Amino acid sequence: MNKQQMLKGIQDGEERLLFAKVLDQVTFALKRYEVQFSDFMDMAKCERFLQRLNNVADLDVLAFGGVEDAERMILGFAPKQACICQEIFPISALQIAPKNKKFGQTDLSHRDYLGSILGLGIERGKVGDILVSEDGAACFVSEEMAEYIQTNLEKVSKTTVTVKMVDKAHILSPKRTELRRVTVASMRLDAILGEALRLSRGKAQTLISGEKVNVNWGVVTSTSYILKTGDMVSARGFGRFRVGEIGGRTKKDRIGLELEVYI
């Protein structure tokens, strides 16, 4: 494996540094015949790294974030003869809840939980998804940091909290989807984005040109980008959806389309 060749074309300095570390872990896994794990990263980086690692001989790579449909994942690397599965990923789950619900804040956000955890001096790469609910939040973290967070996290924003480790297998993603059947003039990104998230065509185009829209976890800035079945689309601050089955044309020459919208 030629490390410099693998790094070629990565312009972002932070991403290049992260992938260089990943490649070192891959090398270690192959030489020592041991499973290695990266830090948490967003799905866009995961996708790009997986594409670059696809052609590495004798290597198995698996991505997992602790829960189905996780948006932040860890990459696991192992020689093809070794066993790598979700169960061995070094991910712990923490349940964070207000100590006194009567006097605690009821509107704690993802940002509140993340900020309080990072405020303990923990790196962002050690924290995965934070699933916020009415009762608190479930947080996936690197196994090595779980006990430290449990011991030291006393407040989220101004609310005193309790933290306990729980079995990550028992945490279900609160993400729910709604199947919508729509008709669109074309499979252009701006047209479908507006229809799926109930935005005006102009608003959809502004989000796309403003680099706030991802397709399959990568930023797309072309409003005329053509979507296809299976594509995952997200607009920062507005939601996400998956493109479903594409049907035939209507009498008005519009395309019938199924969208799985996360609600």
What is the rounded average pLDDT for all residues in the chain?
Answer: 89
Residue 197 belongs to what H/E stretch?
Answer: helix 189-197
- Which domains, ranges and CATH numbers included, belong to the chain? 3-88 (3.30.1370.160), 91-170 (3.30.70.330), 177-262 (3.10.290.10)
DSSP helix/strand/coil, 172? coil
pTM of the entire predicted model: 0.71
Q: What is the pLDDT of residue 104?
A: 56
* The predicted structure's pLDDT at residue 11: 79
Q: Give me the sheet containing 239-249, strands edge to edge.
A: 177-184, 255-262, 239-249, 232-235, 213-215, 218-219
184-202: buried (b, 16+ CB within 10 Å) or exposed (e) per residue? beebbbbbbbbbbbebeee
Q: In whole angstroms, give the CA distance from residue 22 to residue 70.
A: 20
* Strand runs labelled E in the chain: 36-42, 59-64, 72-79, 91-98, 127-133, 136-142, 155-156, 159-166, 177-184, 213-215, 218-219, 232-235, 239-249, 255-262
Per-residue pLDDT of the chain (263 residues; tens, 9 = 90+): 677 887 888 878 888 888 899 999 999 999 989 899 999 998 888 888 888 888 888 889 999 999 877 889 999 999 987 888 899 999 999 999 998 876 556 678 888 999 999 999 999 999 999 988 888 899 999 999 999 999 999 999 989 999 999 998 777 665 668 899 999 999 999 999 999 999 999 999 999 999 889 888 778 999 999 999 999 898 887 888 999 999 888 888 999 999 999 87
Tell me the Cα Rg of the chain: 21
pLDDT at 133: 82
**pLDDT tens-digit profile of 37-64?**
999 998 888 888 888 888 888 889 999 9
Single out the residue of 158, 142, 103, 171 nearest to residue 150, CA to CA: 142
Instruction: Name every residue whose Cβ is closer than 8 Å to that of residue 198 and which is 6 or more positions away in sequence.
Output: none
Residue for token digits 């990072």? 118
Query: What pLDDT score does 173 carry?
Result: 62
27: left (phi over 0), alpha (psi -120 to 50) or beta: alpha
